[in-house]
Structure 1
Protein backbone atom coordinates (compact mmCIF):
# COMPACT_ATOMS: atom_id res chain seq x y z
CA UNK A 1 0.00 0.00 0.00
CA UNK A 2 1.37 3.40 -0.97
CA UNK A 3 1.17 6.44 1.31
CA UNK A 4 -1.52 7.91 -0.95
CA UNK A 5 -3.65 4.76 -0.62
CA UNK A 6 -3.10 4.76 3.14
CA UNK A 7 -4.24 8.38 3.27
CA UNK A 8 -7.42 7.58 1.33
CA UNK A 9 -8.07 4.50 3.47
CA UNK A 10 -7.74 6.44 6.71
CA UNK A 11 -9.94 9.29 5.50
CA UNK A 12 -12.60 6.78 4.48
CA UNK A 13 -12.33 4.93 7.79
CA UNK A 14 -12.89 8.23 9.61
CA UNK A 15 -16.06 8.84 7.59
CA UNK A 16 -14.65 11.07 4.83
CA UNK A 17 -14.88 8.83 1.75
CA UNK A 18 -12.58 9.36 -1.21
CA UNK A 19 -14.23 6.92 -3.60
CA UNK A 20 -11.97 4.21 -4.94
CA UNK A 21 -8.77 3.85 -2.91
CA UNK A 22 -6.40 3.96 -5.84
CA UNK A 23 -3.67 6.38 -4.74
CA UNK A 24 -4.88 9.07 -7.15
CA UNK A 25 -5.04 12.27 -5.09
CA UNK A 26 -7.70 14.17 -6.96
CA UNK A 27 -10.33 16.73 -6.03
CA UNK A 28 -12.44 14.23 -4.07
CA UNK A 29 -9.52 13.18 -1.87
CA UNK A 30 -8.47 16.78 -1.25
CA UNK A 31 -12.06 17.72 -0.37
CA UNK A 32 -12.22 14.79 2.06
CA UNK A 33 -8.87 15.79 3.55
CA UNK A 34 -9.88 19.40 4.16
CA UNK A 35 -13.23 18.30 5.62
CA UNK A 36 -11.38 15.91 7.93
CA UNK A 37 -9.04 18.69 9.03
CA UNK A 38 -11.98 20.94 9.86
CA UNK A 39 -13.70 18.14 11.74
CA UNK A 40 -10.58 17.33 13.74
CA UNK A 41 -9.72 20.93 14.53
CA UNK A 42 -6.31 20.83 12.87
CA UNK A 43 -5.11 23.61 10.53
CA UNK A 44 -6.91 23.34 7.19
CA UNK A 45 -4.17 23.11 4.59
CA UNK A 46 -5.44 20.48 2.17
CA UNK A 47 -2.12 18.73 2.70
CA UNK A 48 -1.18 15.61 4.66
CA UNK A 49 1.03 17.39 7.17
CA UNK A 50 2.27 15.91 10.44
CA UNK A 51 -0.70 17.02 12.58
CA UNK A 52 -3.11 15.60 10.03
CA UNK A 53 -1.24 12.30 9.82
CA UNK A 54 -1.29 11.98 13.61
CA UNK A 55 -5.03 12.63 13.62
CA UNK A 56 -5.56 10.06 10.86
CA UNK A 57 -3.64 7.46 12.86
CA UNK A 58 -6.03 7.76 15.78
CA UNK A 59 -8.89 5.30 16.03
CA UNK A 60 -11.66 6.14 13.58
CA UNK A 61 -14.60 4.23 15.05
CA UNK A 62 -17.16 6.52 16.68
CA UNK A 63 -14.90 9.50 16.11
CA UNK A 64 -15.88 12.92 14.73
CA UNK A 65 -17.26 12.71 11.23
CA UNK A 66 -18.13 9.01 11.49
CA UNK A 67 -21.51 8.46 9.84
CA UNK A 68 -23.70 5.40 10.38
CA UNK A 69 -24.35 4.78 6.71
CA UNK A 70 -24.04 1.54 4.78
CA UNK A 71 -20.80 0.48 3.11
CA UNK A 72 -22.95 -0.23 0.08
CA UNK A 73 -21.83 -1.29 -3.36
CA UNK A 74 -21.90 2.36 -4.43
CA UNK A 75 -19.09 3.20 -2.04
CA UNK A 76 -15.95 2.92 -4.11
CA UNK A 77 -16.52 -0.40 -5.85
CA UNK A 78 -13.74 -1.45 -8.23
CA UNK A 79 -14.49 -1.24 -11.93
CA UNK A 80 -12.62 -4.44 -12.88
CA UNK A 81 -13.94 -7.92 -12.11
CA UNK A 82 -11.67 -10.29 -10.26
CA UNK A 83 -10.00 -13.42 -11.63
CA UNK A 84 -12.31 -15.86 -9.89
CA UNK A 85 -15.05 -17.97 -11.51
CA UNK A 86 -18.78 -17.59 -11.10
CA UNK A 87 -20.31 -19.71 -8.35
CA UNK A 88 -21.72 -22.12 -10.94
CA UNK A 89 -18.20 -22.84 -12.22
CA UNK A 90 -16.26 -23.21 -8.97
CA UNK A 91 -15.83 -26.98 -9.12
CA UNK A 92 -14.44 -26.79 -12.64
CA UNK A 93 -11.98 -24.10 -11.54
CA UNK A 94 -11.05 -25.25 -8.02
CA UNK A 95 -11.56 -29.02 -8.28
CA UNK A 96 -13.37 -31.30 -5.80
CA UNK A 97 -14.46 -29.84 -2.48
CA UNK A 98 -11.92 -29.96 0.32
CA UNK A 99 -8.91 -30.50 -1.94
CA UNK A 100 -5.79 -28.42 -2.74
CA UNK A 101 -5.79 -26.63 0.58
CA UNK A 102 -3.01 -24.39 1.87
CA UNK A 103 -2.29 -22.36 4.98
CA UNK A 104 -2.25 -18.60 5.34
CA UNK A 105 -0.36 -16.99 8.23
CA UNK A 106 -2.35 -13.97 9.37
CA UNK A 107 -0.67 -10.57 9.84
CA UNK A 108 -2.64 -9.98 13.04
CA UNK A 109 -4.14 -12.42 15.58
CA UNK A 110 -7.84 -13.20 15.40
CA UNK A 111 -10.22 -14.59 17.99
CA UNK A 112 -12.22 -17.71 17.25
CA UNK A 113 -15.88 -16.68 17.04
CA UNK A 114 -17.26 -19.56 19.10
CA UNK A 115 -14.49 -19.50 21.71
CA UNK A 116 -12.87 -16.08 21.95
CA UNK A 117 -10.27 -17.38 24.37
CA UNK A 118 -8.70 -19.20 21.42
CA UNK A 119 -6.42 -17.18 19.16
CA UNK A 120 -6.20 -17.88 15.43
CA UNK A 121 -2.91 -17.09 13.70
CA UNK A 122 -3.30 -19.27 10.59
CA UNK A 123 -6.27 -20.23 8.43
CA UNK A 124 -6.89 -22.81 5.72
CA UNK A 125 -7.79 -21.75 2.17
CA UNK A 126 -7.63 -23.17 -1.33
CA UNK A 127 -4.12 -22.82 -2.71
CA UNK A 128 -5.38 -20.77 -5.65
CA UNK A 129 -6.65 -18.00 -3.37
CA UNK A 130 -4.03 -17.95 -0.61
CA UNK A 131 -1.87 -15.24 -2.18
CA UNK A 132 -4.79 -12.92 -2.92
CA UNK A 133 -6.05 -13.32 0.64
CA UNK A 134 -2.55 -12.60 1.93
CA UNK A 135 -2.54 -9.29 0.05
CA UNK A 136 -5.98 -8.33 1.34
CA UNK A 137 -5.11 -9.15 4.96
CA UNK A 138 -1.83 -7.22 4.68
CA UNK A 139 -3.67 -4.16 3.41
CA UNK A 140 -6.22 -4.45 6.21
CA UNK A 141 -3.40 -4.70 8.76
CA UNK A 142 -1.85 -1.53 7.32
CA UNK A 143 -5.15 0.35 7.30
CA UNK A 144 -6.65 -0.41 10.71
CA UNK A 145 -5.20 -0.24 14.20
CA UNK A 146 -5.70 -3.07 16.69
CA UNK A 147 -8.52 -1.12 18.34
CA UNK A 148 -10.24 -0.42 15.03
CA UNK A 149 -10.08 -4.08 14.08
CA UNK A 150 -11.68 -4.94 17.43
CA UNK A 151 -14.37 -2.28 16.98
CA UNK A 152 -15.23 -3.57 13.52
CA UNK A 153 -14.99 -7.21 14.52
CA UNK A 154 -12.60 -8.05 11.70
CA UNK A 155 -10.40 -9.72 14.29
CA UNK A 156 -13.13 -12.32 14.92
CA UNK A 157 -12.68 -15.40 12.73
CA UNK A 158 -15.93 -17.20 11.97
CA UNK A 159 -14.66 -19.78 9.50
CA UNK A 160 -13.01 -20.55 6.17
CA UNK A 161 -12.70 -24.16 4.96
CA UNK A 162 -15.79 -26.16 5.94
CA UNK A 163 -17.00 -28.94 3.65
CA UNK A 164 -20.75 -28.51 3.99
CA UNK A 165 -23.87 -27.76 1.99
CA UNK A 166 -25.43 -24.32 1.77
CA UNK A 167 -27.97 -23.64 4.48
CA UNK A 168 -31.31 -25.08 3.42
CA UNK A 169 -30.00 -26.30 0.06
CA UNK A 170 -28.29 -29.18 -1.71
CA UNK A 171 -25.40 -27.28 -3.30
CA UNK A 172 -22.06 -27.01 -1.58
CA UNK A 173 -21.18 -23.81 0.24
CA UNK A 174 -18.25 -21.76 -1.05
CA UNK A 175 -16.61 -22.70 2.26
CA UNK A 176 -16.46 -26.30 1.03
CA UNK A 177 -13.69 -25.28 -1.38
CA UNK A 178 -11.92 -23.04 1.13
CA UNK A 179 -12.66 -19.95 -0.95
CA UNK A 180 -14.73 -18.01 1.59
CA UNK A 181 -14.02 -16.35 4.92
CA UNK A 182 -16.50 -15.20 7.57
CA UNK A 183 -15.92 -12.41 10.09
CA UNK A 184 -17.81 -11.73 13.34
CA UNK A 185 -20.94 -13.77 12.63
CA UNK A 186 -22.64 -12.53 15.80
CA UNK A 187 -22.90 -8.94 14.54
CA UNK A 188 -23.19 -9.77 10.84
CA UNK A 189 -25.62 -12.67 10.71
CA UNK A 190 -26.88 -14.23 7.50
CA UNK A 191 -30.12 -12.24 7.41
CA UNK A 192 -28.89 -9.06 9.14
CA UNK A 193 -29.01 -6.16 6.69
CA UNK A 194 -27.51 -2.67 6.62
CA UNK A 195 -27.32 -0.60 8.70
CA UNK A 196 -27.71 -3.12 11.52
CA UNK A 197 -24.85 -5.30 10.30
CA UNK A 198 -21.62 -3.92 11.76
CA UNK A 199 -19.64 -4.46 8.57
CA UNK A 200 -22.16 -2.40 6.61
CA UNK A 201 -20.94 0.81 8.26
CA UNK A 202 -18.81 3.39 6.53
CA UNK A 203 -15.64 2.61 8.47
CA UNK A 204 -15.69 -0.88 6.93
CA UNK A 205 -15.34 0.44 3.36
CA UNK A 206 -11.50 0.14 3.29
CA UNK A 207 -11.86 -3.42 4.60
CA UNK A 208 -14.16 -4.39 1.74
CA UNK A 209 -12.11 -2.53 -0.84
CA UNK A 210 -9.03 -4.51 0.18
CA UNK A 211 -10.90 -7.71 -0.64
CA UNK A 212 -12.41 -6.32 -3.82
CA UNK A 213 -9.00 -5.31 -5.11
CA UNK A 214 -8.06 -8.97 -4.75
CA UNK A 215 -11.16 -9.91 -6.75
CA UNK A 216 -13.12 -11.27 -3.79
CA UNK A 217 -16.85 -10.59 -3.47
CA UNK A 218 -18.81 -9.31 -0.47
CA UNK A 219 -22.36 -10.65 -0.33
CA UNK A 220 -23.23 -7.69 1.87
CA UNK A 221 -21.96 -5.13 -0.62
CA UNK A 222 -23.57 -6.95 -3.54
CA UNK A 223 -26.85 -8.19 -2.06
CA UNK A 224 -27.18 -6.64 1.43
CA UNK A 225 -27.17 -9.91 3.34
CA UNK A 226 -24.55 -12.15 4.97
CA UNK A 227 -22.27 -9.20 5.72
CA UNK A 228 -19.86 -11.53 7.54
CA UNK A 229 -18.91 -13.27 4.28
CA UNK A 230 -16.37 -12.67 1.53
CA UNK A 231 -15.63 -15.18 -1.24
CA UNK A 232 -13.33 -15.80 -4.19
CA UNK A 233 -16.21 -16.50 -6.56
CA UNK A 234 -18.47 -14.18 -8.49
CA UNK A 235 -22.24 -14.28 -8.08
Structure 2
Protein backbone atom coordinates (compact mmCIF):
# COMPACT_ATOMS: atom_id res chain seq x y z
CA UNK A 1 0.00 0.00 0.00
CA UNK A 2 1.50 3.32 -1.01
CA UNK A 3 1.53 6.54 1.00
CA UNK A 4 -1.50 8.06 -0.72
CA UNK A 5 -3.58 4.92 -0.11
CA UNK A 6 -2.52 4.79 3.53
CA UNK A 7 -3.70 8.38 3.94
CA UNK A 8 -7.08 7.41 2.51
CA UNK A 9 -7.23 4.50 4.95
CA UNK A 10 -6.28 6.70 7.92
CA UNK A 11 -8.89 9.30 6.97
CA UNK A 12 -11.59 6.64 6.70
CA UNK A 13 -10.58 5.07 10.00
CA UNK A 14 -10.96 8.46 11.64
CA UNK A 15 -14.32 9.05 9.93
CA UNK A 16 -15.57 5.78 11.41
CA UNK A 17 -14.60 6.69 14.95
CA UNK A 18 -11.21 5.02 15.21
CA UNK A 19 -8.10 6.89 16.35
CA UNK A 20 -5.30 6.26 13.84
CA UNK A 21 -3.35 9.38 14.77
CA UNK A 22 -2.33 11.83 12.07
CA UNK A 23 -3.44 11.35 8.48
CA UNK A 24 0.16 11.40 7.30
CA UNK A 25 0.71 8.22 5.31
CA UNK A 26 2.92 6.74 8.03
CA UNK A 27 2.22 3.39 9.65
CA UNK A 28 2.63 3.98 13.37
CA UNK A 29 1.30 2.21 16.48
CA UNK A 30 -1.91 4.25 16.54
CA UNK A 31 -2.75 3.41 12.92
CA UNK A 32 -1.86 -0.22 13.48
CA UNK A 33 -4.19 -0.41 16.52
CA UNK A 34 -6.99 1.35 14.62
CA UNK A 35 -6.71 -1.18 11.79
CA UNK A 36 -6.86 -4.08 14.22
CA UNK A 37 -9.90 -2.63 15.97
CA UNK A 38 -11.70 -1.92 12.70
CA UNK A 39 -11.08 -5.42 11.37
CA UNK A 40 -12.51 -6.81 14.59
CA UNK A 41 -15.55 -4.53 14.25
CA UNK A 42 -16.22 -5.36 10.60
CA UNK A 43 -15.05 -9.00 10.78
CA UNK A 44 -14.88 -9.29 6.98
CA UNK A 45 -15.76 -12.67 5.59
CA UNK A 46 -12.65 -14.07 3.92
CA UNK A 47 -11.87 -17.44 2.39
CA UNK A 48 -9.27 -18.09 5.10
CA UNK A 49 -9.02 -16.57 8.57
CA UNK A 50 -7.55 -13.11 8.09
CA UNK A 51 -6.11 -13.17 11.62
CA UNK A 52 -3.30 -15.36 10.33
CA UNK A 53 -2.41 -13.03 7.47
CA UNK A 54 0.64 -10.74 7.36
CA UNK A 55 0.23 -7.21 8.68
CA UNK A 56 0.60 -5.75 5.18
CA UNK A 57 -2.17 -7.97 3.86
CA UNK A 58 -4.43 -7.06 6.78
CA UNK A 59 -3.83 -3.38 6.04
CA UNK A 60 -5.15 -3.86 2.51
CA UNK A 61 -8.04 -5.96 3.82
CA UNK A 62 -9.03 -3.16 6.18
CA UNK A 63 -9.09 -0.68 3.31
CA UNK A 64 -11.11 -3.11 1.19
CA UNK A 65 -13.61 -3.63 4.00
CA UNK A 66 -13.98 0.11 4.57
CA UNK A 67 -14.52 0.66 0.84
CA UNK A 68 -17.25 -1.95 0.84
CA UNK A 69 -18.80 -0.38 3.95
CA UNK A 70 -18.91 2.91 2.00
CA UNK A 71 -20.83 1.20 -0.82
CA UNK A 72 -17.84 0.80 -3.15
CA UNK A 73 -16.61 -2.34 -4.88
CA UNK A 74 -12.99 -3.22 -3.99
CA UNK A 75 -13.27 -6.71 -5.46
CA UNK A 76 -12.67 -9.77 -3.31
CA UNK A 77 -11.90 -9.12 0.34
CA UNK A 78 -8.59 -10.93 0.02
CA UNK A 79 -5.99 -8.47 1.29
CA UNK A 80 -4.27 -8.22 -2.09
CA UNK A 81 -3.70 -4.87 -3.79
CA UNK A 82 -5.03 -5.15 -7.34
CA UNK A 83 -6.60 -2.87 -9.94
CA UNK A 84 -10.11 -3.08 -8.46
CA UNK A 85 -8.90 -2.24 -4.96
CA UNK A 86 -6.81 0.61 -6.37
CA UNK A 87 -9.84 1.95 -8.24
CA UNK A 88 -12.07 1.70 -5.16
CA UNK A 89 -9.41 3.49 -3.11
CA UNK A 90 -9.41 6.33 -5.63
CA UNK A 91 -13.19 6.54 -5.47
CA UNK A 92 -13.06 6.64 -1.67
CA UNK A 93 -10.45 9.41 -1.78
CA UNK A 94 -12.71 11.45 -4.06
CA UNK A 95 -15.69 10.78 -1.80
CA UNK A 96 -13.70 11.98 1.23
CA UNK A 97 -12.59 15.14 -0.54
CA UNK A 98 -15.80 16.10 -2.33
CA UNK A 99 -18.67 14.26 -0.66
CA UNK A 100 -19.60 12.51 -3.89
CA UNK A 101 -18.18 9.97 -6.31
CA UNK A 102 -16.38 11.08 -9.49
CA UNK A 103 -18.21 10.97 -12.78
CA UNK A 104 -17.51 7.67 -14.55
CA UNK A 105 -14.25 8.13 -16.49
CA UNK A 106 -14.97 11.82 -17.11
CA UNK A 107 -16.72 11.03 -20.42
CA UNK A 108 -17.47 14.71 -20.93
CA UNK A 109 -14.51 16.87 -19.98
CA UNK A 110 -15.54 20.06 -18.15
CA UNK A 111 -13.64 23.07 -19.44
CA UNK A 112 -11.52 24.37 -16.55
CA UNK A 113 -11.86 27.90 -15.31
CA UNK A 114 -9.50 30.38 -16.93
CA UNK A 115 -8.67 32.91 -14.20
CA UNK A 116 -5.45 33.98 -15.93
CA UNK A 117 -7.06 34.37 -19.37
CA UNK A 118 -4.69 31.97 -21.09
CA UNK A 119 -5.01 32.36 -24.87
CA UNK A 120 -6.13 29.81 -27.42
CA UNK A 121 -3.47 27.51 -28.84
CA UNK A 122 -3.01 29.51 -32.04
CA UNK A 123 0.38 30.94 -32.93
CA UNK A 124 -0.89 34.50 -33.33
CA UNK A 125 -2.72 34.40 -29.99
CA UNK A 126 0.22 32.81 -28.20
CA UNK A 127 2.66 35.38 -29.57
CA UNK A 128 0.34 38.26 -28.68
CA UNK A 129 0.20 37.11 -25.05
CA UNK A 130 3.61 35.56 -24.45
CA UNK A 131 5.91 37.21 -27.00
CA UNK A 132 7.92 35.54 -29.73
CA UNK A 133 8.83 31.87 -29.27
CA UNK A 134 11.95 31.60 -27.13
CA UNK A 135 11.59 35.15 -25.77
CA UNK A 136 10.45 36.48 -22.39
CA UNK A 137 11.90 33.53 -20.46
CA UNK A 138 12.66 33.70 -16.74
CA UNK A 139 13.98 31.27 -14.14
CA UNK A 140 11.66 29.76 -11.53
CA UNK A 141 12.84 28.25 -8.23
CA UNK A 142 10.66 25.17 -7.91
CA UNK A 143 8.55 24.54 -4.77
CA UNK A 144 9.89 20.98 -4.68
CA UNK A 145 12.86 19.37 -6.44
CA UNK A 146 12.33 17.42 -9.64
CA UNK A 147 14.37 14.62 -11.22
CA UNK A 148 15.12 14.34 -14.90
CA UNK A 149 12.91 11.55 -16.23
CA UNK A 150 15.75 10.15 -18.38
CA UNK A 151 18.43 10.55 -15.68
CA UNK A 152 16.76 10.28 -12.29
CA UNK A 153 20.04 10.87 -10.44
CA UNK A 154 20.00 14.47 -11.72
CA UNK A 155 17.99 16.86 -9.55
CA UNK A 156 16.28 19.93 -10.96
CA UNK A 157 15.61 22.79 -8.55
CA UNK A 158 14.83 25.52 -11.08
CA UNK A 159 13.46 25.70 -14.59
CA UNK A 160 12.82 28.20 -17.34
CA UNK A 161 9.33 29.39 -18.14
CA UNK A 162 7.62 32.35 -19.74
CA UNK A 163 7.46 35.34 -17.42
CA UNK A 164 3.67 35.54 -17.83
CA UNK A 165 3.12 32.06 -16.33
CA UNK A 166 5.83 32.15 -13.66
CA UNK A 167 3.68 33.02 -10.63
CA UNK A 168 0.90 30.67 -11.73
CA UNK A 169 3.33 27.77 -12.19
CA UNK A 170 4.71 28.36 -8.71
CA UNK A 171 1.19 28.36 -7.23
CA UNK A 172 0.30 25.11 -8.97
CA UNK A 173 3.36 23.20 -7.79
CA UNK A 174 2.96 24.61 -4.28
CA UNK A 175 -0.57 23.16 -4.21
CA UNK A 176 0.82 19.82 -5.35
CA UNK A 177 3.41 19.78 -2.56
CA UNK A 178 0.84 20.72 0.08
CA UNK A 179 -1.55 17.97 -1.00
CA UNK A 180 0.79 15.05 -1.61
CA UNK A 181 3.88 15.89 0.46
CA UNK A 182 7.38 15.06 -0.75
CA UNK A 183 6.99 11.32 -0.14
CA UNK A 184 3.68 11.18 -1.97
CA UNK A 185 5.13 13.17 -4.86
CA UNK A 186 7.97 10.68 -5.22
CA UNK A 187 5.64 7.70 -4.82
CA UNK A 188 3.41 8.93 -7.66
CA UNK A 189 6.39 10.08 -9.78
CA UNK A 190 5.15 13.67 -9.86
CA UNK A 191 8.79 14.74 -9.62
CA UNK A 192 9.87 13.06 -12.87
CA UNK A 193 10.45 16.00 -15.19
CA UNK A 194 10.16 15.48 -18.92
CA UNK A 195 10.98 19.06 -19.85
CA UNK A 196 9.65 22.57 -20.23
CA UNK A 197 10.91 25.22 -22.65
CA UNK A 198 12.02 23.70 -25.95
CA UNK A 199 12.03 25.57 -29.25
CA UNK A 200 10.65 22.77 -31.41
CA UNK A 201 7.68 21.64 -33.48
CA UNK A 202 4.96 19.43 -32.06
CA UNK A 203 5.78 15.75 -32.14
CA UNK A 204 3.95 14.36 -35.14
CA UNK A 205 3.04 17.87 -36.32
CA UNK A 206 4.39 20.77 -38.37
CA UNK A 207 3.54 23.76 -36.14
CA UNK A 208 5.44 25.01 -33.12
CA UNK A 209 4.82 23.27 -29.83
CA UNK A 210 3.58 25.30 -26.88
CA UNK A 211 6.92 24.32 -25.30
CA UNK A 212 8.48 26.91 -27.64
CA UNK A 213 6.88 29.71 -25.59
CA UNK A 214 7.89 28.23 -22.22
CA UNK A 215 4.25 27.61 -21.25
CA UNK A 216 4.12 23.80 -21.38
CA UNK A 217 5.63 21.11 -19.18
CA UNK A 218 5.88 17.33 -19.28
CA UNK A 219 5.96 14.94 -16.32
CA UNK A 220 6.64 11.20 -16.02
CA UNK A 221 6.78 10.61 -19.78
CA UNK A 222 7.63 6.90 -19.49
CA UNK A 223 4.29 6.13 -17.84
CA UNK A 224 2.25 8.65 -19.86
CA UNK A 225 3.46 8.23 -23.42
CA UNK A 226 2.24 10.51 -26.19
CA UNK A 227 -0.26 8.13 -27.89
CA UNK A 228 -1.56 6.49 -24.71
CA UNK A 229 -5.15 7.04 -23.63
CA UNK A 230 -6.77 6.74 -20.22
CA UNK A 231 -6.66 2.96 -20.47
CA UNK A 232 -2.85 3.01 -20.16
CA UNK A 233 -1.67 6.41 -18.89
CA UNK A 234 -0.77 6.55 -15.19
CA UNK A 235 -1.99 10.15 -14.85
CA UNK A 236 -5.52 9.05 -15.79
CA UNK A 237 -5.88 7.16 -12.51
CA UNK A 238 -7.97 8.59 -9.63
CA UNK A 239 -5.01 9.14 -7.30
CA UNK A 240 -3.86 11.89 -9.67
CA UNK A 241 -7.12 13.86 -9.47
CA UNK A 242 -5.61 16.37 -7.02
CA UNK A 243 -2.65 16.81 -9.37
CA UNK A 244 -4.98 17.87 -12.18
CA UNK A 245 -7.20 19.95 -9.92
CA UNK A 246 -4.07 21.88 -8.86
CA UNK A 247 -3.34 22.79 -12.48
CA UNK A 248 -6.93 23.40 -13.52
CA UNK A 249 -7.54 25.82 -10.64
CA UNK A 250 -5.16 28.15 -12.48
CA UNK A 251 -6.59 27.40 -15.91
CA UNK A 252 -3.84 25.09 -17.18
CA UNK A 253 -5.01 22.49 -19.69
CA UNK A 254 -4.22 18.78 -19.71
CA UNK A 255 -4.19 17.27 -23.19
CA UNK A 256 -4.87 13.94 -21.53
CA UNK A 257 -8.04 15.07 -19.80
CA UNK A 258 -9.25 17.18 -22.71
CA UNK A 259 -8.15 15.06 -25.69
CA UNK A 260 -7.19 11.69 -24.16
CA UNK A 261 -3.60 11.59 -25.42
CA UNK A 262 -0.25 13.02 -24.23
CA UNK A 263 -1.16 12.69 -20.54
CA UNK A 264 2.36 13.82 -19.58
CA UNK A 265 1.68 17.31 -20.96
CA UNK A 266 0.10 20.40 -19.39
CA UNK A 267 -0.01 23.89 -20.92
CA UNK A 268 -1.13 27.47 -20.32
CA UNK A 269 -3.12 27.54 -23.55
CA UNK A 270 -6.69 26.62 -24.36
CA UNK A 271 -7.54 23.93 -26.89
Residue 121 of structure 2 corresponds to 87
- Corresponding position of 2:235: 199
Q: Is the 8 A contact 2:112 2:251 kept in 1?
A: no
Aligned to 1:168: 204
Q: How does 1:104-119 map to 2 (within 5 A)?
A: 104-119=140-155
Name the structure 1 match of 2:16.
44
Unaligned runs of 5+ in 2: 27-58, 68-85, 92-101
The answer to whether residue 248 in structure 2 is matched with residue 228 in structure 1 is no
Give per-residue Cα distances to partners, 1:180-213, cap 9 Å, x unaligned. 0100100001011113211111010001111001
SS in 2 for 1:128: helix
Runs (5+) with no aligned partner, structure 1? 1-12, 17-35
- What is the number of residues matched between the two proteins? 197
Query: For residues 97 and 203 of structure 1, what CA distance do their matches in structure 2 show?
Result: 34
Give me the TM-score of the superposition, normalised by structure 2.
0.64
Q: 1:79 to 1:220 in 2, by over 3 A?
A: closer
Q: Distance in 2 between matches of 1:38 and 1:157?
A: 30
The equivalent residue for 2:81 is none
Q: 1:54 aligns with which of 14, 22, 27?
A: 22
Summarize the alignment of residues 125-164 of structure 1 with structure 2, pairs less than 5 Å apart: 125-164=161-200
TM-score, structure 1 length as denominator?
Answer: 0.73
Q: Equivalent residue for 2:80?
A: none
Deviation of the 1:75 alpha carbon: 9.8
Q: Residue 168 of structure 1: CA displacement?
A: 2.4
Rounded to whole Å, the distance in 2 between the matches of 1:39 and 1:75 is 30
Higher relative contact order (CA 8 A, sep 6+): 1
Q: Is the 8 A contact 1:76 1:209 kept in 2?
A: no
Corresponding residue number in structure 1 for 2:77: none
Structure 1 residues 66-75 or 115-124, which shifts more? 66-75
Larger Rg, first or second structure (1 or 2) = 2
User: Could you tell me whether the CA contact under 8 Å between 2:112 and 2:253 is conserved in 1?
Assistant: no
Matched, 1:216 2:184: no
Deviations 1:90-143 (A, max 9, x none): 122211100000111111111111111110000110000000000000000100
Aligned partners of 1:107 and 1:137 also within 8 Å = yes
After TM superposition, give the deviation of residue 217 of structure 1 in Å.
Answer: 0.3
